[in-house]
Chains A and B, each alone.
Chain A
């Protein structure tokens, strides 16, 4: 076990102890008690057999019954206690395991909600998902099975070892030699198994990637009659996977019989050694000082079996522990991710416009204001929320050294529409990412209602900025739930009004259950256009003064497009809007058009001005470039 692993183990233990400060120690105590008691019968057996040895020839049961029944009675009491302990620890363990998993899941999820967007942009979504599935599974395996088993085995081995020494050092020596041999084999074979399991996972990952791509393109394969070629490629990966998994499983499978039979050989060796010692009348070395007799050899045989069996049990848990540790480490890594920082102190409050200027209000008034406390003199000023956004000399880079925006300055007065135009990678989406502080700018300033957005609390800034993204993301729930996502306290009427504004009401009312229709899998039962309409309605119900719109590029038919267009137009009405435009009509109707190229603003102005310039925009407009 390396240092990192031992830190992980310690942290996991502390975490679980934190969850269950009473239950965990009780459970551990019960496990130890249970395991220790289950090693005791050997002592009773030795006593009983010793008694029998002296009296079996007499045939007089009454002479020995008292002593033997006494021993059995004590043993029964021990067993009862052990059973109670066993019952308790098994029940508690079920509770602790599931409870721990639940709390870990919650901590992961809650932590994940606080992570910056950058994390989701730079990590594969499948990888993030596997924290919740694969890693949690390995953790469950480890906590619910491996840990208790290791503890039980450890205690049993220890207790049995003590009893062994108590009775006979010679025979113990035989067992110890056997154990050393077993450990060496576990290391060798177990190590091989772990190595191939790791390779097997790799091969499986490759195959999975290939299959996913092929399944996605299955229709293309059919159209090009490419079935045979894809079969050949598949066979290669499939055979590679088979080879690794066969080796991995072979190693794992032969470990058990090897250990088991070393146990058997050990059993035989103990019997023989015992016999030889007995015959040769070798003086015993033991803590008990008892001479070697059949009453020692017989229980010793059982103890040997128990000893070897428990070591085999440990070996079964090796793979689970190795995988569990890796999974736990990954889970902790996710939890340790730096959450999104927010030092904003300017907040958004309900306000009343009175004769003395703007006053804060407890109730919802429909008027909003920025509450700006000044640290210098402790005073508080209020600024009305109007939707005035300005960028001054903004530079930005996702990665150090690769600047993607250079010196971008622009402004949008309340109610103005600003359209961004440019090719893929020109920086259109990047600008919108900066406005709601998904990413922070490297240099320059962005001001919202003349307040530096770095001073505004992020949640309030985002509440003041609505977004309709290009790819619509809907959540499992009813249509109504999805619209209400924009404003949780919105009434049904408000949601329906928003749907009407977006032009979504028409199709929603035609759905089987209208607004109560369940949506699953990102609204798989809706068309692309319908999903867009819902996301417009969702933004409409939030009713923010500033909107960021990313028009969809996918081709939808003319009729639906017209409806979506109308919805977008209605949403833009009376708001400051930044739009990443894909439709010429949207661009044309904008107050300002910003043409971006490689992170720089190369042209700006309204439609007529830009056409007159006969520059990039003119070329775009006349169809010489793709608008995306």
Chain B
């Protein structure tokens, strides 16, 4: 996991390495300063001249300046390294998602991917910053201060060998106790926020059923629970501070009393006043660096979960890849399925498609119909290799789809997905997804075919109308028509419409189909629909049932031969028969 994330450091390796080195420099300077001061104090006490004081003064100021330089430099490289890592992580996550196949995409929820790229990356960034700066600084400080304390205080420094382990053990115990508590309570906290979210979204339901009081009671109860757990954890954590203070106080009392004793009994030989003062400084440095270390440790463990979730995305390998010598030209729009079996994941027990055999001639119009779960969408998604078959093979233009360059194949096999989406941007920008170089005329032409031009030209800004995120400012039917136009602009050899006109009225639906038959006769067209009226005029209609092809034939043939088709037809035409009569 760590190694996976470390790969994203790349160009920020220099900054990442420089930071701890610079920090080390800063720490060394900081530790020597009290030492020199101790010497200075003793010189002063001994009644030295102003020159000597100034000499030491200059040395000290230079050291402080160096420390500042190192420190500020480290701060700067640290910012570059950690922000750089965050940048590369975000980039790597995004890029690896771009390389995902449909199968990979199905595995992750959108919201969880967004969280990984924002909150989780920020957590890792903070932890990394801590790691290369504090995690070096604190132990170094501890060790240096310890050494210096021995150099200065001699025997006195043994006190630290007693106090430091006590503090370390205490801090470790607190973390050990508190970690599982926090893990538990964060889960509850998430659930609490989940319920808030539910309420915000479902406020109409809450108010319609007059459930405000009920929701309040529910929420307050959960909030109480979260609060109790948090308080428990925080109270344990709150032991840290008094513990540190206790240790500092203990050292103070010891150094002051035992130090005085040593000074007096040894007549200032073993210890003098200057050293006494420095010892106190070092003790403070040591203990506070321990405290810092425990904080860093806590932060890094908190970021562990985030790191795990990021690594999950990064290590996910696309289940589809380009062949070695890909074919870039698709001969024609013919499709053939040969003994195709398919399931979405290896572990799934049930095949979603079973033994599909099918030959579609180039230029043919095929209708597909069947209930939910009859695997209509699964069938067509195999054609442009959005998923790979489990067994058997699919040929497009006479070649196995796995031989093609993915991009070439998908450019020639255009799919209008069932759950389709427009992106924020103008209508033109959206249409250009189909073809970057499309001229205005081509766009209008495509929109005319998909009956989108009739409403787009009514907009005050026409084709420059801005589409809100998710296409929120156009109706469902308008969105579908624009999505069809976008696919038409690819000028594909095969066009697949997956229930793409469900929100379009029947008349427009018919008009679109007519236009396509007229303008792109040589394109193979596959139309999945709920309404039989949408497929009536197809050359052949495939009736799907439970992952198998139940029947194939023309409208008239199927009415006779297929009970499923007949049932669907009759149930839909009970209500539309009258309208036909009126017409």
Contacts and interface: CB of A to CB of B under 8 A. Distances in A.
Q: Do A and B come from one complex?
A: yes
B200 A128 contact: yes
Nearest to B110: A215
A488 B477 CA distance: 40
Interface stretch (B87-95, B340-348, B392-400): B87-95
A175 interface: no
Contacts of A221: 98
A60 B264 contact: yes
Given A249-B83, A558-B571, 12 more contacts: A110-B220, A125-B200, A207-B90, A212-B114, A219-B417, A222-B101, A242-B83, A249-B79, A254-B71, A257-B72, A298-B41, A473-B202
Interface string B218-246: 01100110110011001101110110011
B7 to A, nearest CB: 17
Interface string B341-383: 0000000000000000000000000000001100000000000
B419 interface: yes
B256 A72 contact: yes
A113 B215 contact: yes
Interface string A473-488: 1111000000001101
Interface in B478-521: 486, 490, 499, 502-508
Contact of B67 (A213, A264, A274): A264
B452 interface: no
B78 interface: yes
Contacts of B56: 272
A83 B249 contact: yes
A448 interface: no
Interface in B52-75: 53-54, 56-57, 60-61, 63-65, 67-68, 70-72, 74-75
Nearest to B489: A224
B245 A83 contact: yes
A223 to B, nearest CB: 5
Interface string A67-102: 011011001100100110011001101110111011
A109 B234 contact: no
B557 interface: no
A61 B85 CA distance: 60
Contacts of A558: 371, 530, 568, 571-572
26 contacts: A41-B256, A49-B273, A55-B264, A56-B264, A57-B268, A75-B256, A82-B249, A95-B231, A101-B227, A132-B193, A207-B118, A211-B94, A220-B420, A221-B98, A222-B410, A223-B386, A227-B98, A302-B281, A475-B198, A485-B209, A488-B211, A555-B499, A621-B579, A621-B582, A622-B507, A627-B505
B143 interface: no
Contact of A56 (B95, B203, B267): B267
A239 B241 contact: no
A265 interface: yes
Contacts of B80: 246, 250
A234 interface: yes
A52 interface: yes
B235 A469 contact: no
Shortest Cβ-Cβ A-B pairs, 5 listed: A257-B71, A253-B75, A473-B202, A261-B68, A102-B227
B3 interface: no
Contacts of B583: 622
A218 interface: yes
A52 B264 contact: yes
B226 A239 contact: no
Given A90-B239, A215-B113, A223 B410 contact: yes
Nearest to A585: B575
Given A274-B44, A473-B204, A628-B477, A231 B87 contact: no
A559 B102 CA distance: 28
B530 A279 contact: no
A97 B26 contact: no
Interface stretch (B153-161, B327-335, B468-476, B546-554): B468-476
Nearest to B264: A61
A628 B502 CA distance: 12
Nearest to B238: A90
A473 B530 contact: no
Contact of A462 (B79, B209, B486): B209
Interface string A534-555: 0000100010000000000101
A44 interface: yes
A390 B358 CA distance: 60
Contacts of B90: 207, 238, 241
A438 B204 contact: yes
Interface string A327-355: 00000000000000000000000000000
B45 A76 contact: no
A459 to B, nearest CB: 5
B560 interface: no
A462 B238 contact: no
B559 interface: no
Nearest to B496: A223
A512 interface: no
B465 interface: no
Q: Which of A238, A438, A585, A623 has the most CB of B within 10 A?
A: A623
B253 A624 contact: no
A608 B41 CA distance: 108
Nearest to B80: A246
B434 interface: yes
Given A82-B245, A249-B82, A297 B68 contact: no
B537 interface: no
A99 B231 CA distance: 8
B37 interface: yes
A230 B100 CA distance: 14
B40 interface: yes
A278 B213 CA distance: 75
B20 interface: no
Contact of B33 (A45, A230, A267): A267
Interface in B292-330: none
A280 B212 CA distance: 79
Contact of A562 (B86, B227, B267, B571): B571
A76 B257 CA distance: 11
Contacts of A173: none
Contacts of A64: 260, 264
A188 interface: no
B216 A246 contact: no
B201 A555 contact: no
A94 B281 contact: no
A133 interface: yes
Interface in B405-448: 406-407, 410-411, 414-415, 417, 419-421, 423-424, 433-434
Contacts of B78: 249, 253
B503 A628 contact: yes
Contacts of A264: 30, 33, 60, 63-64, 67-68
B105 interface: yes
B411 A245 contact: no
A212 B112 CA distance: 10
Contacts of A280: 50
A280 B503 CA distance: 95
A208 interface: yes
B219 A106 contact: yes
B261 interface: yes
Contacts of B261: 61, 65
Interface string A288-312: 0000001001110110010000000
B194 interface: yes
A93 B219 CA distance: 24
Given A58-B264, A83-B242, A52 B470 contact: no
Contact of A216 (B110, B226, B252): B110
Contacts of B424: 213
Contacts of A246: 79-80, 83-84
A625 B579 CA distance: 13
A377 to B, nearest CB: 30
Contact of A68 (B57, B97, B260): B260
Nearest to A263: B64
Given A222-B102, A261-B67, A99 B499 contact: no
